[in-house]
Structure 1
């Protein structure tokens, strides 16, 4: 997929809504060769998906070995809205707490008092974190109104051919 095609998908209003959500599902290949998917908070900075994790997270050795990842950001309503993204994970060790980590956790419902307590707890727990940065190399938006999964598109086409349309 060409960069302009990726940008066209990601700049659609529905994609922008999905990119403003709290969680994505990060899929990667574990060091034992089996697939893994984990929910993880993220921030979209306009060109990259940024996730943060502990320095001892089991996913880090796997991402160092095989940085290919897939992300799913979706809704919990019918019809679902789904943004699929593929890319390569770049790992960036950060001393202290990355700004993105504080941003990504800022959209959960917290009172100002809860936020102060949460941030103090975070700062006391982490000396450093790892930023997982993914620049999209492929993207698809599925809204089940104007766009469908490719397999469903194929079935719709086959049905139309059977019906002589």
Structure 2
């Protein structure tokens, strides 16, 4: 997929709504070669998905070996709205807590007092974190009204007019 095609998909209003959510599912290949999918908080910076995790997380070792990833951001309603992404994970270990981690966690429902306590706990727990940065190289937006999964599109085309 060409970068202009990816940009065309990611700038659509529905894609922008999904990119404003706070949870994605990150798929990668573990060190033992088996697939993994983990939910993880994220932020969209306009060109990349940024996720943050502790440096000792198993996914970091796996991503160093094989940075190819897939991401799913979707809704819980029917029909679902789905943004599928693929890319390569770039890893960036930083001292302290990345701003993206605090931003991704900003949607959590907390009182101001709870938020203050939570932030203090986070800052005392993590001495450093790894930013997982994925710039999409492939994207598909599915809303089941104007776009469908490829297999369903093929079935609809094969059926012909009703």
TM-score normalized with structure 1 length: 0.97
Deviation string, structure 1 residues 42-97 (Cα, Å, up to 9, x no partner): 00000000000001000011100000000000000000000000000000000000
Tell me the residue number matched to 2:27.
27
Determine the C-alpha separation between the residues in 1 that align with 2:117 and 2:59: 28
Once the 2 structures are TM-superposed, how far is the Cα of residue 107 of structure 1 from its aligned partner?
A: 1.0
Tell me the residue number matched to 2:70.
70
Tell me the residue number matched to 1:143.
143
Determine the C-alpha separation between the residues in 2 that align with 1:55 and 1:29: 17
- Are 2:47 and 1:47 aligned? yes
SS of the aligned residue for 1:62 comes to helix
Determine the C-alpha separation between the residues in 1 that align with 2:20 and 2:110: 17
Tell me the residue number matched to 1:110.
110
Q: Which 10-residue stretch deviates more, 106-115 or 47-56?
A: 106-115
SS of the aligned residue for 1:79 comes to coil
Give structure 1 regions of 4+ aligned residues with deviation exceeding 3 angstroms: none
Unmatched 5+ stretches in structure 1: none
Deviation string, structure 1 residues 126-153 (Cα, Å, up to 9, x no partner): 0000000000000000000000000000
TM-score normalized with structure 2 length: 0.98
Once the 2 structures are TM-superposed, how far is the Cα of residue 109 of structure 1 from its aligned partner?
A: 1.3
Once the 2 structures are TM-superposed, how far is the Cα of residue 22 of structure 1 from its aligned partner?
A: 1.1
Determine the C-alpha separation between the residues in 1 that align with 2:11 and 2:109: 27
Once the 2 structures are TM-superposed, how far is the Cα of residue 110 of structure 1 from its aligned partner?
A: 1.3
Tell me the residue number matched to 1:79.
79
Root-mean-square deviation (CA), in Å?
Answer: 0.8
Matched ranges for 1:113-124 at <5 A = 113-124=113-124
SS of the aligned residue for 2:79 comes to coil
